[in-house]
Structure 1
Amino acid sequence: MSDPTVQQHLHHLYSHHHGWLKAWLRKKLSCQHAAADLAQDTFVRLIVSEKRPLPEQSRAYLTQIAKGLVIDLYRRQRLELAYQEWLQQLPAVETPSPEQQVIVLQTLIQFDKVLDQLPVKVRETFILSRFEHLTYSEIADQLGISVAAVRKYMLKATLACLELL
């Protein structure tokens, strides 16, 4: 990012749109701190992407990035809540250490991102198999696909998860 033109363009985008974006996020999130964090994250994503919107598309482009970050935030919050609820059901002696809890939560968030990138049928097949404990035949019946398709989808989902590891 040593190109002065790029730096100037980013400076212009930030100085002209950061306040507006933060206010927009504050309305969406009802939290000033989360809005400030996501506004900064939006510009970081913009810098990392190396894409530069045209001046007339700046707000739409920034909004698109910010919406994705809001979705990620809500998804992460749902995962954290579900994990905390699960932890509360454990006997005290089985509760993982705080460090282990952070590692597990980070891993869950990564797996969630991997699963979210899979096609819907592949994701549904994997979830029905691993979390609902349905057989391949039951999954095929429920999703209206063949058992061979279930096998193929499970392989695809499993490989995607293994890549994460």
Structure 2
Amino acid sequence: MACAQGHENVRVLYVDHHRWLVGWLRKKLGCGHDAADIAQDTFQRLLAAPDCADQLREPRAYLSTLAHGLAVDQIRRRRLERAYLDELACLPEPQAPSPESRAILIETLCRVDRMLDGLGKRARTAFLMSRLDGMTYPDIARSMGVSLSSVEKYMAAAIRHCYEVRYG
């Protein structure tokens, strides 16, 4: 019964605020299609946890915060996809992966990006230099202008962060 009430609260929020949210997102993003998609995703998130919908004192503030986070995720994902596709364009045709492999790789890159979200900039940079670029810790230290022990600390923090995100 509580779940049905929660869904009803989300329905009321949708009726009362969906149009406003799409307009707010359209102004921020400059694209009506993206605005509609993100607004839809915002309400889908609410449906996943409908009990919080009846406790909202400022629903527009909550909706805009949730939608903003989803928009940032979408922008980050698109940048990552674009960078990957730009790199693929530089490969000779026989080395280029199949469309299916591309889709899998893009999804994997997005998962890694989400996993690294919340990690400090220096730890993230060191981690990516090590894992993606194959750089050694001394090379990373030189590139970043820090000591080897700093790189070791950044890597330990990054690995610990990834473990905690993955396994709780």
Q: Could you tell me how far apart the structure 2 residues matched to 1:80 and 1:24 are?
A: 26
Q: Could you tell me how far apart the structure 1 residues matched to 2:64 and 2:109 are?
A: 27
- Which residue does the alignment assign to 2:87? 86
- TM-superposed CA distance for 1:122, in Å, is 1.8
Q: Which moved more, 1:21-30 or 1:129-138?
A: 129-138
- Which residue does the alignment assign to 1:35? 35
- Which residue does the alignment assign to 2:9? 9
* Aligned ranges 1:7-156 → 2 under 5 Å: 7-49=7-49, 50-52=51-53, 54-131=55-132, 134-140=135-141, 146-156=147-157
TM-score where L is the length of structure 2: 0.81
**CA, structure 1 residues 142+81, in 2 after alignment: closer, same or farther (shift >3 Å)?**
closer
**CA, structure 1 residues 104+148, in 2 after alignment: closer, same or farther (shift >3 Å)?**
same
CA RMSD of aligned residues (A): 2.6
- Counterpart of 1:51, as a letter, is C
TM-score where L is the length of structure 1: 0.83
- Counterpart of 2:37, as a letter, is D
Q: Could you tell me how far apart the structure 1 residues matched to 2:83 and 2:159 are?
A: 23
Q: Could you tell me how far apart the structure 2 residues matched to 1:93 and 1:76 are?
A: 26
3-state DSSP of counterpart to 1:90: coil
Any idea what the Cα deviations from partners look like across 1:23-76, whole Å, max 9, x if unmatched? 111222222221111111001112224423645410000000000011011101
- Counterpart of 2:6, as a letter, is V
3-state DSSP of counterpart to 2:52: coil
- Counterpart of 2:125, as a letter, is E
Q: Which moved more, 1:124-133 or 1:21-30?
A: 124-133
- TM-superposed CA distance for 1:84, in Å, is 1.1
Unmatched tracts of structure 2, length 5 or more: none
The share of aligned pairs that are identical, in percent, is 42
Q: Could you tell me how far apart the structure 2 residues matched to 1:34 and 1:10 are?
A: 21
- TM-superposed CA distance for 1:131, in Å, is 4.7
Maintained 8 Å contact 2:7/2:47: no
3-state DSSP of counterpart to 1:82: helix
> Aligned pair count?
163
**CA, structure 1 residues 82+53, in 2 after alignment: closer, same or farther (shift >3 Å)?**
farther
3-state DSSP of counterpart to 2:37: helix
Maintained 8 Å contact 1:53/1:61: no
Maintained 8 Å contact 1:79/1:109: yes
Q: Which moved more, 1:46-55 or 1:4-13?
A: 46-55
Unmatched tracts of structure 1, length 5 or more: none
Q: Could you tell me how far apart the structure 2 residues matched to 1:143 and 1:56 are?
A: 46
Q: Which has the higher contact order (CA 8 A, sep 6+)?
A: 2
